[in-house]
Amino acid sequence: MTLGSSALLPIASYSIPFKIPGSQKDRRLLHYFCVQGSDDISGFLSSDFWSQTVLQAGHEDLVVRQALVAMSSLHLDYTSSSPDRKSVASPETLSLYGKALRSLGKRLVQSSDGTTKTALVCCILFYCCESTIGDGDAALQHLGNGLKLLVSAQRDQTADESTDIKSLTTIFERLDMQASFFEDDRIPILALPKYRCEEPHHGTLPLRKGILGLQDAQQRLVKLQAWLYHFVNKNVEFYQETKESLSLDILEERSSLEQGYNAWIEDINEFENRDQHDDQTLHGIRTLLVHFYVCRMILQSKFPQDHNVFGASPNPNAHHILDLAETLLEHTIQVNASPIATKAPRRNFSLETGVVAPLFALAIKCSDDSVATRAAQMLASSHRREGLYDAQTMSHIINELKRSRDGVTRVKEEIGGGIEAVSPLEYHIPEQYEGGGIGKLLWSMSL
């Protein structure tokens, strides 16, 4: 079976697990989602939301089904189109997307049982749509609407809604952190409980209990990421202080964070060594390790400052992370060549944070120039977008910052006659950039 457009890719046979209502075109797009879209969108880790929740919700609810059809069409447009095409979405896809937006608007006006779940699922799907298009502001607006509704639902939920709300909370936590990584001055809305040193386990330290599976490991790591983000953000005015000048509260919270990260890596290592795992599970573990190692480097470099963490040159720790990311990108190439899905997709889109953001972080923070060079090459060749992060754009930013830094270095060497030490690219971000995320960074660099 193929979709009815010469621009679309052939699709292998697949048995949808239940009868899907709707038009033949809708069923074909949902068929594509089952074959290719859900795996690509969920990224390197499997997700119950993309493999089960959204399909079940679409089966039960017309509004969700329309949103899922629009998102599937947009994903297919993205993967099958050339990267230099001016518009990602075809006119037909934009029509489907507009129809889904209008349908949700009507449902919200005529509220009924299940409206909250419908709206939450649609907010995720619309965030996915706008991220695919590349409209970060619109994507964040949909995510913000969903997060506000989720917080309200968590407070007011009934017993019947509790399971649905709990299952949706985990993906919102991941997207909430993704948005905060993208917009560096954004505070996560799904915040952890306030840290209090006097509480057992310091209030937010995840208790060590072993890892039940990859989704459990991912959820615990996301909470550690959120805690690290809040810790760094609230203490930013003290980042240059010596250890002797830092308050006991800061030092104790940092120690607790370190304990949390140490417990997590011990548990994931035990989980990996406990059983024989298939390739999909091993790729999931490597993805989480990429996130873990970058976050641990950030923690080790702060309060007090330790310039050796990112300043080492050569930097074997950073290259180890690049090695892990490289295996994941090589896996994507193999999947793209597989005959069981669409043939030869030109690029990949995942809503989940994978390797793009960690590679960019390493590139701009490490003094080892080979790290930035290698990361930029990996990003440029990946033809990949992960949520708000486009790999080609990140590679372009890295290369422009390298050119700017190298130009300044040449001038200084010509004037002073000495050889300048290589400085991290983040030190060469334009002065007019005052925070606010990748979009504003691009504007400050006139890109």
pTM score, whole prediction = 0.91
- Of the candidates 178, 212, 229, which is a domain's last residue? 178
Q: Which tens digit of pLDDT belongs to each residue from 226-282? A: 999 999 999 999 999 999 999 999 999 999 999 999 999 999 999 999 989 999 999
| Residue 111 included in any domain | yes
The domain boundary residue, chosen from 244, 271, 286: 286
If asked whether residues 114 and 195 sit together in one domain, one would say no
Range of the domain at 157: 24-178
- Strand duo 384-386 + 389-390: pairing: antiparallel
Co-location of 33 and 174 in the same domain: yes
CA contacts within 13 A on the Cβ side of 91: 0
Q: Are residues 226 and 164 in the same domain?
A: no
Q: Edge to edge, what strands does the sheet with 389-390 contain?
A: 348-350, 384-386, 389-390
Query: Does residue 203 lie in a domain region?
Result: yes
Per residue in 304-345, pLDDT (tens digit) is: 999 999 999 999 999 999 999 999 999 998 888 776 555 556
Give the residue-averaged pLDDT of 55-59.
93
Examine the domain organization and report whether 42 and 136 are in the same domain.
Answer: yes
Q: Coil, strand or helix: which one is 124?
A: helix
* Neighbour count for residue 134 (Cβ, 10 Å): 16
Q: pLDDT tens-digit profile of 102-135?
A: 999 999 998 888 899 999 999 999 999 999 999 9
- Residue 330 domain flag: no
Q: Is 339 exposed, middle or buried (0-12, 13-18, 19+ CB in 10 A)?
A: exposed
142/249 same-domain check: no
Question: Could you give the number of structural domains in the chain?
Answer: 2
Residue with tokens 């074997």: 316
Same domain? For 245 and 219 the reply is yes
Best CA proximity match to 125, nearest among 188, 41, 213: 41
Query: Are 100 and 240 in the same domain?
Result: no
